[in-house]
Structure 1
Amino acid sequence: MKVVVTGGAGFIGSNLVRALGEIGQVSEIVVIDDLSTGLLDNLLCVPVRLVRGTILDPDLLDEAMTGAASVVHLGALGSVPRSIDLPLPSHHANATGTLMVLEAARRHGVRQVILSSSSSVYGANPVLPRDEGLRPIPVSPYAVSKLAAEAYALAYASCYDLQVLPFRFFNVFGPRQAAHHAYAAVVPRFITAALAGDPLRVHGDGRQTRDFTFVGSVTSVIVDAIVRQVATTDVVNLAFGVRISLREVIAELESILDRRLEVVYEPPRPGDVRDSQANCSRLLELFPTVAPTPLRAGLEQTVSWMSGHVLAGQ
């Protein structure tokens, strides 16, 4: 089985291709990545073929997708703050890019397209936990672009009989997550600051909550979906219904590092939601054997990886 992974040199993608390389059912892995946010180092010693370029290039997509059974579309321009600063690039990469990938999959008769959406589409909807039937109220260009991407996927499933599986990710963290840029996610920012002895900067009071999901749990679900060729007629939350505050994350890091961490509180950022928590009933119906990684175990693995890579300048 040939699998194509867009954004395969990025955080989730590089963890996924490692997991795919360990199963016998996958005979060929092709990564599409323009390396604008991904890293070549993330693919070291991984049995993949890299097609370097943008998902907005139809010829490049044709080259990569010939003979593919499944496509995992992770290529995106992430970050709510980045989308507020740069709304048009966010739309082009996330909405138009998804449409280009779906069209290429249709041209080449790909059986299955798995793609990443985001919990940010729920936005200002106050209901917790968030089930997939809730009305999305996106409050950032990034959230709008992700909502458009999943809507395109479901429309292609309806119009062209394409098997799709749109996942809404909730605050995924783990090894290989970028830390040294202006739009870095909160967990790698916290760990990098803690390891360097710098203060941890929190936007808001730190009591805002997220459904933090370890990347290994995410990749195990996607691998299972590819092996069993799982598809749906609606979106699926990929998180486990655990509501954790930023202050609790900081307390866990203090325990792991065995020292107090300095914390600086700053004003909340535009576009950030106050609380997030998944209803995971649909996920567990499709993947009844999936087991989430506890926060402490996930943070320990992430700290261990970042200690040997980020601070070493790798």
Structure 2
Amino acid sequence: MKNKKVIVTGGLGFIGSHIVERLNDNNEVLIIDDQSTGKIENIKHLDFSKIDTTLGDITKINLEEIFEGTDYVFHHAAKISVPESLEDPLTSNEVNITGTLKILEAAKNMDIKKVVLASSSAVYGDTESLPLNEENPLNPLSPYAATKAAGELYCNVFSKAYGLPTVALRYFNVFGPRQDPNSQYAAVIPQFIDKMLKDKRPIIYGDGKQSRDFISVKQIVDANILAAESKENGTFNIGLGKSTTINQLFEIINDVIGKDMEPIYEKERPGDIKHSLADIQKAKSIGFEPKGDFKDYLKETVEWFIENS
């Protein structure tokens, strides 16, 4: 993507900052972020002459004014904590559903070429039907997951009713540099790396045979740009299309870090999904095929944690 004006909501966050980083050299980028979880430090290494930042809540600011002349919107601003959504479903609803609706309405009115929505594999809930494809029934098990499902439905409605091109990307287990291991909803990879670099044994809940479809944030960025530039609308799974057990993951990180540690096994947590695996056949229609080696992406992530510890 070159010579475009793009907006990244949640652009100071983990995934959003990586999208900004990729687009920074050849495009004009505007970030919208309320800094509730995003950090300006995530983009401190970039060329600020090509970045504008609007700090504010997407439900309150004048989006149409900001969207004028914009080509694409990558919508990543959201309340992403499942525990927070269970404690305060109204706020999750306001930010994730009303916020998305405001983004879509402004995009429609300002003739945006396409909106790309960050969704989640959480919309599927817990199912034994693997690999998960886009035809699987939705079974959200938290207010967070329900808000993502609603966002997808609104994208579909705006495409069909108003002709606004939209894509919703259902992310599986994303990892990479700048992921916060200290947040209450931190993923297993940053938690393992953070603890093991401090010579602390990480906890594995259950027997460690549960599996996940882990995908690098750089591959997620690839998917976003491909989705924006493609002619396709609709919903797409974005994962590696391969599963790794938690035990296997632990051994790979052990090897990458050069340790010989043993995990601490604790009782399985109620509500944890046993297995997750994406069917990514449909995503090939937007040109998405994950490139790179899983272990190499893990090495890159470990190196970032070492440099920033």
TM-score between both structures, scaled by the size of structure 1: 0.92
Tell me: CA distance 1:63–1:267, structure 2 relative to 1, closer, same or farther (3 Å).
farther
Instruction: Provide the rounded CA distance (Å) in 1 between the counterparts of 2:301 and 2:130.
Output: 28
Q: Deviations over 1:223-272 (max 9, x none)?
A: 2333x34431x310011211111111100011111212242233344443
Q: Which runs of 5+ in 1 are unaligned?
A: none
* Residue of structure 2 equivalent to 1:9: 12
1:141 Cα deviation after fit: 1.6
Q: How do 1:235-250 residues align onto structure 2 when only pairs under 5 Å count?
A: 235-250=235-250
Q: Which amino acid aligns with 1:92?
A: E
Q: Which amino acid aligns with 1:302?
A: T
* Residue of structure 2 equivalent to 1:187: 189
Contact conserved, 2:226 with 2:286, CA < 8 A, in 1?
A: no
Contact conserved, 1:32 with 1:64, CA < 8 A, in 2?
A: no
Contact conserved, 2:20 with 2:29, CA < 8 A, in 1?
A: yes
Q: Which amino acid aligns with 1:77?
A: K
Secondary structure, counterpart of 1:235 in structure 2: strand
Q: Which amino acid aligns with 1:53?
A: G
Q: Which runs of 5+ in 2 are unaligned?
A: none
* Residue of structure 1 equivalent to 2:92: 90
Instruction: Provide the rounded CA distance (Å) in 2 between the counterparts of 1:165 and 1:111.
Output: 11
* Residue of structure 2 equivalent to 1:109: 111
Contact conserved, 1:8 with 1:17, CA < 8 A, in 2?
A: yes
The answer as to 2:56 corresponding to 1:53 is yes
Secondary structure, counterpart of 2:181 in structure 1: coil
Tell me: CA distance 1:140–1:231, structure 2 relative to 1, closer, same or farther (3 Å).
same
Contact conserved, 1:58 with 1:104, CA < 8 A, in 2?
A: no
Tell me: CA distance 1:258–1:127, structure 2 relative to 1, closer, same or farther (3 Å).
same
Question: Once the two structures are aligned, what percentage of the paired residues are identical?
Answer: 36
1:118 Cα deviation after fit: 0.4
RMSD: 1.6
Q: Deviations over 1:130-159 (max 9, x none)?
A: 010011111122111111111111111111
Secondary structure, counterpart of 1:177 in structure 2: coil
Q: Which amino acid aligns with 1:140?
A: S
1:292 Cα deviation after fit: 2.9
* Residue of structure 2 equivalent to 1:231: 232
Q: Deviations over 1:73-113 (max 9, x none)?
A: 01111132332233222222222211111111112121200
Contact conserved, 2:120 with 2:148, CA < 8 A, in 1?
A: yes
* Residue of structure 2 equivalent to 1:275: 275
Instruction: Provide the rounded CA distance (Å) in 1 between the counterparts of 2:20 and 2:281.
Output: 27
* Residue of structure 1 equivalent to 2:291: 292
Q: Which amino acid aligns with 1:144?
A: A
| Count of residue pairs brought into register by the alignment | 303
Instruction: Provide the rounded CA distance (Å) in 2 between the counterparts of 1:268 and 1:82.
Output: 21
